[in-house]
Amino acid sequence: MTERKEIRLAGLGGQGVVLAGVLLGEAAVEQGLYAAGSNSYGAQARGGGARADLVLDGQQIDYPHVQQPDLVVAMSQGAYDTYASGVAEGGKVLFDSGLVEPKAPHDRYGAKVTAMALEEFQNRQVANVIWVGLVAGVTGWFQTEVLERTLVRLVPERFAELNKAALAKGLDMGRAWEVA
């Protein structure tokens, strides 16, 4: 990747939005890219709106804030309502189709990520890592092995295998979206 790209992850506090942003940013830097991430969240630990913005570029980033995201991930209805319409032309809106009622008919990138985390992994907390996989799979901007290494570094050791499986799940689904 050589051109500037902007990603906006949004949801509720407790969904792991910020950690997902850090994971993608760390991986991007390890890949040799420039990355700039900024977060916005309320005072409460759970339930308030949470947002993680990430700018990626092959060269030094002048303005580090997201202006018009190429990719929006909406993990809640509120996030979708606030940010989906701000996506750049030709950009993608990913959303949790178990939690979000999409308004634009062209929004085809829906997946029941939270339900999947609970049913397939018996752990709601891995939803954000499935999202990281989906983002990487659908964009092709991240190297799988670097993401996996970064993930193992950032999560507690006893959850490493669980998180790697969640990442793989997201990657597979994201890549399939691109083929579809």
Partner 1 sequence: MPLTTVTNPVKAGSRYLSGNDAAAEGAIAAGCRYYGGYPITPSSEIMEYMSRELVPRGGAFMQMEDEIASISSVVGASWSGAKAMTATSGPGLSLMQECLGYAAFTETPVVLVDVQRAGPCTGQATKVGAGDIMAVKWGSHGDYQVVALSPWSVQEMFSLTVEAFNLAERLRVPAFLLAEEATGHLRERVDLPETLEIYDRDYVPKQPPFGCDQADGIPSMPGFGMGENLLVTGSTHDQWGFRKTEGPAFHDSLVRRLSQKVLSRKAEICRHEGYYLDDAELVVVAYGFTARAALRAVRQARQEGLAVGLLRLITIWPFDDELITRVAEGAKGFLVPEMNLGQVDGLVRSAAGDTPVKSLTQVNGSTISPASIMAALKEMR
User: Is residue 35 near partner 1 by the rule CB under 8 A?
Assistant: yes
DSSP state of 15: S
Three-class SS of 48-77: CEEEEEEEEECCCCCCCCCCCCCEEEECCH
The pair phi, psi for residue 152, each rounded to 5°, is -60, -35
Identify whether the C-beta of residue 117 lies closer than 8 Å to the C-beta of residue 125.
Answer: yes
User: Is residue 119 near partner 1 by the rule CB under 8 A?
Assistant: no
Whole-angstrom distance, CA of residue 89 vs CA of residue 92: 9
User: Is residue 10 near partner 1 by the rule CB under 8 A?
Assistant: no
The residue among 176, 88, 94 whose CA lies nearest residue 128 is: 94
Identify whether the C-beta of residue 157 lies closer than 8 Å to the C-beta of residue 119.
Answer: no
User: Is residue 9 near partner 1 by the rule CB under 8 A?
Assistant: no
Shortest separation between residue 102's beta carbon and partner 1, angstroms = 28
User: Is residue 26 near partner 1 by the rule CB under 8 A?
Assistant: yes
Shortest separation between residue 173's beta carbon and partner 1, angstroms = 26
User: Can you read off the two tokens belonging to residue 22?
Assistant: 């850090």
Whole-angstrom distance, CA of residue 147 vs CA of residue 155: 12
- The residue (of 53 and 96) whose beta carbon lies closer to partner 1 is 53
User: Is residue 30 near partner 1 by the rule CB under 8 A?
Assistant: yes
Among 19, 29, 118, 160, interactor with partner 1 by CB under 8 A? 29
Site map 38..67 versus partner 1, x via CB under 8 A = xx---x-----------------xxxxx-x
User: Is residue 148 near partner 1 by the rule CB under 8 A?
Assistant: no
Shortest separation between residue 63's beta carbon and partner 1, angstroms = 4
Residues found near partner 1 in the complex (CB under 8 A): 22, 25-26, 28-30, 32-39, 43, 61-65, 67
